[in-house]
Structure 1
């Protein structure tokens, strides 16, 4: 979270300016709210972009897929119906993605019954 905040402050001069004013002791009660809203909006956008990229990268290994609402602070809740013949290719792709995406923990469960596709 700290690294992401620093990245957002580097990428957005408005956020950096608000943060600097707060750190310098500006007592305007709107500043933390404005900064929080700006950061939250950017975090959501980045999470949506990441989730979309992960779906695109993994869906090619699946006969079917289902995207559900993320839970417990997750970025993505994705079910993939992967044929047994493609299991190793899928696991290799997952491992590659986990290495490429810094600061994100991947949790995979399976094989599970295909209850998401009934």
Structure 2
């Protein structure tokens, strides 16, 4: 028997099939790279969110401890009311001083200028 002859046009389909396969492989590779990048970004986001969750749990525990202290000690409640809210007993005079960070720069004395 003799070898197959190309179709009537005289051209083989092999180059077309090969080019198609190469194109498909290239598309799959590009899709894989994008998927890997997306997966890496998603894992990074998960780590960030887990850190935020951990910090939130720590804050919750801290607040629970603060609640227990406030429930059990009336002196702590009074101190917090005085410090945080500026409350006072009848007849007391409260003088609130601004925090250093909140001071108005216009109110600060100027440094002497050297001639």
Is TM more than 0.5 here?
Answer: no
Structure with more strand by fraction: 1
TM-score by length of 1: 0.30
TM-score by length of 2: 0.31
Structure with more helix by fraction: 2
